């Protein structure tokens, strides 16, 4: 199975500052046939279901603010919140969907400093 | 607007069975893969199973060891999860989620609110 790790486990960032979360896969998520990375990012606020932010590692889901961006390829990926807003306080998860069983990272908690 | 509404969660004894349902609306159900993801309260997300849009392909997490079965009725726009031989460690909120495409190899772009399954004597 592909193991997903995330760092840091939690981070506190001042309003308006940049937040960066890293996700590492134990195997390459780049599928050579279509040159796509099978990596998604989700945001989950307390008491709510997860919400898709990014798929194919860097494609922003419709309606997601452009302060959220995804980057990386192969085994190393990053979610960046360019200017943290109060409503961004949440848990963030990466997920690989390249290989069954699909697996999530353990999550990273983002809070306000 | 996409809507996914889970039901069927309950308190069940170890070794018991339960069937979860997920009623979908707002999109052409048969065109999209559907998944189940679970979450122990206060813990992380755990992928459970996925079914293709046509229902001809299904995949499961290794830890299920054949105890769960995913299915769908495209005429009723409903997804199911049959859960047998339930264990205490299956206690969790179960979410249904819609794939971004018909292939099972899709991100999950819409989620239900979840239904709580508690396995306890």
In the predicted structure, residue B15 carries a pLDDT above the cut 90: yes
Kindly report the average pLDDT of chain A as a whole number. Answer: 97
Contact B105 A98 (CB under 8 A): yes
A44·B45 Cβ contact <8 A: yes
| Closest chain A residue to the Cα of B39, Cα to Cα | A49
pLDDT tens-digit profile of B23-72? 999 999 999 999 999 999 999 999 999 999 999 999 999 989 889 999 99
Yes or no: say if B108 and B98 are a contact pair by the CB < 8 Å rule.
yes
Closest-CA distance of chain A to residue B35, Å: 10
Segment A14-33, tens digit of pLDDT: 999 999 999 999 999 999 99
Per-residue CA distances from B30 to B7, B51, B68, B74 (Å): 20, 11, 21, 6
State the Cα–Cα distance between residues A86 and A36, nearest whole angstrom: 32
- Asked if A58 has any chain B CB less than 8 Å from its own CB, the reply is no
For A51-60, give one letter per residue: b (16+ CB within 10 A) or e: bbbbbbbbbb
Nearest by CB: B62 against A40, A52, A101: A101
């Amino acid at each position: 199975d592909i193991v997903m790790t995330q760092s840091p486990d939690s981070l506190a960032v001042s309003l308006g500052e940049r937040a960066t979360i890293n996700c590492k896969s134990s195997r390459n998520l780049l599928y050579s046939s279509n040159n796509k990375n099978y990596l998604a990012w989700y945001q989950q606020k307390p008491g709510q279901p997860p919400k898709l932010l990014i798929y194919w590692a860097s494609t922003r889901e419709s309606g997601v603010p452009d302060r959220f961006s995804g980057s990386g390829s192969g085994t190393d990926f990053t979610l960046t919140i360019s200017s943290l807003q109060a409503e961004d306080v949440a848990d963030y998860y990466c997920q690989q969907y390249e290989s069954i069983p699909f697996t999530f990272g353990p999550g990273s908690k983002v809070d306000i400093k | 607007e996409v809507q996914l509404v889970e039901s069927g969660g309950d308190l069940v004894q170890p070794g018991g069975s339960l069937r979860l349902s997920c009623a979908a609306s707002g999109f052409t159900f048969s065109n999209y893969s559907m998944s189940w993801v679970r979450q122990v309260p206060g813990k992380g997300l755990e992928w459970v199973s996925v079914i293709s849009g046509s229902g001809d392909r299904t995949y499961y997490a290794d830890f299920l060891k054949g105890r769960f079965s995913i299915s769908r009725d495209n005429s009723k726009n409903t997804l199911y999860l049959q859960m047998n031989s339930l264990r205490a460690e299956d206690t969790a909120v179960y979410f249904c989620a819609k794939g971004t495409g018909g292939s099972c190899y899709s991100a999950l772009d819409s989620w239900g609110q979840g239904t709580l399954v508690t396995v306890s004597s």
